[in-house]
Homo-oligomer: A and B are copies of this chain.
Amino acid sequence: MAWFGNLIRFSTTKSASSSSITTKPLILNTLFSHFTTDASLHNHSHSSPPPTQFAGLGPTKHNEKPRIVVLGSGWAGCRLMKGIDTKLYDVVCVSPRNHMVFTPLLASTCVGTLEFRSVAEPIARIQPAISKEPGSYFFLANCTGLDTHNHLVHCHTVTDGANTVDPWKFSISYDKLVIALGAEASTFGIQGVKEHAVFLREVHHAQEIRRKLLLNLMLSDVPGISEEEKRSLLHCVVVGGGPTGVEFSGELSDFIMRDVRQRYTHVKDYIHVTLIEANEILSSFDDRLRRYATKQLTKSGVRLVRGIVKDVKPQKLILNDGSEVPYGLLVWSTGVGPSLFVKSLDLPKSPGGRIGIDEWLRVPAVQDVFAIGDCSGFLESTGKTVLPALAQVAERQGKYLASLLNKIGRAGGGHANAAKDVELGDPFVYKHLGSMATIGSYKALVDLRQSKEAKGISLAGFISWFVWRSAYLTRVVSWRNRFYVAINWATTFVFGRDISRI
């Protein structure tokens, strides 16, 4: 790409020229002095291969603010960035998406109950410094490698959708590194899942589900399609009976009961939802709530099937007992596991293959590296169990780590290798606040017990649903989205769900 060809020239020229500017654009000056070539970071000799292969942000100087690099923009990373004192630190976020997804409400966007935008929160709203402060940045990129020895991360820009731009490599020096890369949907090695099923973890997944569902509804109305094909095309199968799978099934049955019956009268009797789970649905909830959920889902037309998926083919899946289940839409939500990138990192690991951390969320054996959220787990040596992959865990860890890093920064330990003597204070302790899940038809479950064995309050029904909605509404990050979610709910109530396929 012509215009991207000589990107590197900038770094060298600017570093050189900025040192001669002394009077004006102070901000620009500071900004540019960060940019440096990869070569200068490593001090390659002249005999090494062309040294200017990529550029980056060089190490901070002692008279500059230390730099926290955050990998990821999920619950953990965003809560951390929100809490960082930007008077103490510069914040650099590297993530393939410029927003946080409010995951508990994602299932509602697939059927038009909520708009996609209402559940996406731009990072620049969560931490405005990222777009305003001269030394803070957001980079739309993936991290491709860590060099903990040199306090460096290697990145690769994301340019999907714009096929005229080549990806670009760069490196960033960190003073503190926070790995908050989340997890990946587990497929348990089952063939065909990645090719034919849709996950439900990102906004684009919800968009894909929506487009597919509406396409199938319209295709099934086309002249010439047989009864059997129609039924297959309109068979929505959800694999995994955790909160996501159950909430999506509930939303889908609401959509069918209210909107499909009204707006797709020709095919309304052909659409069905099946939820496949190997064990029990909502296993983290108490028995009474589970029974209630089972009864309610069945009542609203969701077929619950106990089974293990063996193989996934283009229009059908095969269960362990050999039976075939044809589908038109397949949503996969069987839980998450460490990503390939996390697995590939040369860092200590927790049971289950996550990045191993100590009680202060530090990655031992390396300096200035922390890991939070679904990508991290307590090391066996801490004697603590690995925490579940929940938004509330990630959020609590982000909050804790922000205040820990602020404390370190205030004590003068912000720069690389400078925190050794700082007193860290209390370790991170997780207290479970309870679980919630909606099951459709204005009903939800609220389980306020601290663990499965503990005693405590558990609710099911309309009041729970009201608690569920209120709780999430107050947790939505910005006032803008809080307002939009409320408006979306009200509009859906009055006008029904939107069915335009855009």
Flag if A480 contacts B491 (CB, 8 Å).
yes
Contact between chains at B54 and A157 (CB < 8 Å): no
Closest chain B residue, CB of each to CB of A502: B203
A479 within 8 A of B: yes
In the bound complex, do residue B117 and residue A498 qualify as a contact, i.e. CB atoms below 8 Å apart? yes
Closest 3 CB pairs of A and B: A55-B224, A99-B500, A10-B226
Contact B315–A226 (Cβ < 8 Å) = no
Residues of B within 8 A of A224 (CB): 7-8, 10-11, 35, 54-56, 168, 170
Q: Which of A1-45 contact B (CB under 8 A)?
A: 1-4, 6-11, 13, 31, 34-35
- Provide the bound-state CA to CA distance between A31 and B124, in Å: 54
Interface residues of A in 184-241 (CB under 8 A from B): 196, 203-204, 207-208, 211-212, 214-216, 218-219, 221-227, 229, 232-233
Asked if A97 CB lies within 8 Å of chain B CBs, one says yes
Give the docked Cα–Cα distance between A55 and B162 (Å): 39
The contact string, 1 if C-beta is below 8 Å from chain B, for chain A 386-413, is 0000000000000000000000000000
In contact, B223 and A501 (Cβ under 8 angstroms):
no
A489 at the interface (CB under 8 A from B): no
Q: Count identical subunits in the complex.
A: 2
- Tell me which residues across on chain B come within 8 A of A203, comparing CB atoms: 502
Please tell me if A51 contacts chain B, counting CB pairs below 8 Å: no
Task: Tell whether A70 is near chain B: CB-to-CB under 8 Å.
Answer: no
Q: Which chain B residues lie closer than 8 Å to A10 at the CB level?
A: 224-227, 229
Q: Find out whether the CB atom of A480 lies under 8 angstroms from the CB atom of B495.
A: yes
A48 at the interface (CB under 8 A from B): no
Distance, CA A97 to CA B121, complexed state (A): 29
Tell me if A165 counts as interface (CB < 8 A to partner B). yes
Q: Do B500 and A120 touch (CB < 8 A)? A: yes
CA distance A140 to B264 in the complex (A): 13
A218 x B500 contact (CB < 8 A): no
Report if A50 contacts B (CB, 8 A).
Answer: no
Decide if A232 touches B3 in the complex (CB within 8 Å).
Answer: yes
Give which listed residue, B1, B121, B137, B215, contacts A221 with CB less than 8 A: B137
Q: Which residues of B contact A162 (CB under 8 A)?
A: 211-212, 215-216
A371 contacts B by Cβ under 8 Å: no
* Known pairs A137-B266, A233-B3; A500 contacts B121 (CB<8 A): yes
* Contact across chains for B222 and A98 when beta carbons are under 8 A apart: no
In the assembly, what is the distance between CA of A208 and CA of B164, in Å? 13
Interface 1/0 per residue, A471-488 and B, CB below 8 Å? 000000011100110010
A122 close to B (CB within 8 Å): yes
Q: Chain B residues with Cβ under 8 A from A116's Cβ?
A: 502
Contacts of A165 on B, CB cut-off 8 Å?
215, 219
Question: What chain B residues lie within 8 Å of A502 (beta carbons)?
Answer: 97, 99, 116-117, 120, 203-204, 207
CB of A141 within 8 Å of the partner chain: yes
Q: Of B172, B265, B500, which contacts A98 at CB under 8 A? A: B500
Tell me whether A55 and B161 are in contact in the complex, defined as CB-CB below 8 angstroms, given that A3-B229, A315-B3, A499-B98 are known contacts.
Answer: no
A243 contacts chain B at the CB level, 8 A cutoff: no
Q: Are B139 and A222 in contact (CB under 8 A)?
A: yes
Give Cα A18–Cα B219 distance, bound, in whole angstroms. 22
Please indicate which of the listed interface residues A10, A97, A232 has the most CB atoms of chain B within 10 Å of its own CB.
A10
CB distance from A466 to the nearest CB of B (A): 23
Q: Which of A95-133 contact B (CB under 8 A)?
A: 97-99, 115-117, 120-122, 124, 128, 131-132
> Closest B-chain residue to A118, C-beta based?
B115
Nearest CB of B to A98, in Å: 5
- Further pairs besides A168-B225, A483-B491: 16, Cβ < 8 Å: A4-B229, A6-B226, A8-B224, A10-B224, A10-B227, A11-B223, A35-B224, A98-B218, A98-B500, A98-B501, A99-B500, A117-B498, A120-B500, A122-B498, A138-B221, A168-B222
Contact B222 A501 (CB under 8 A): no
Q: Which chain B positions have C-beta within 8 A of A498?
A: 117, 122, 480
A382 contact set on B, CB distance < 8 A: none
- Contacts A10-B227, A131-B266: A499 and B122 contacting too (C-beta < 8 A)? yes
Whether the Cβ atoms of B138 and A218 lie closer than 8 Å is: yes
Which residues of B sit under 8 angstroms from A170, Cβ to Cβ? Answer: 222-224
B54, A164: Cβ atoms under 8 Å?
no
| Docked CA distance A57–B491 (Å) | 36
CA distance A314 to B4 in the complex (A): 12
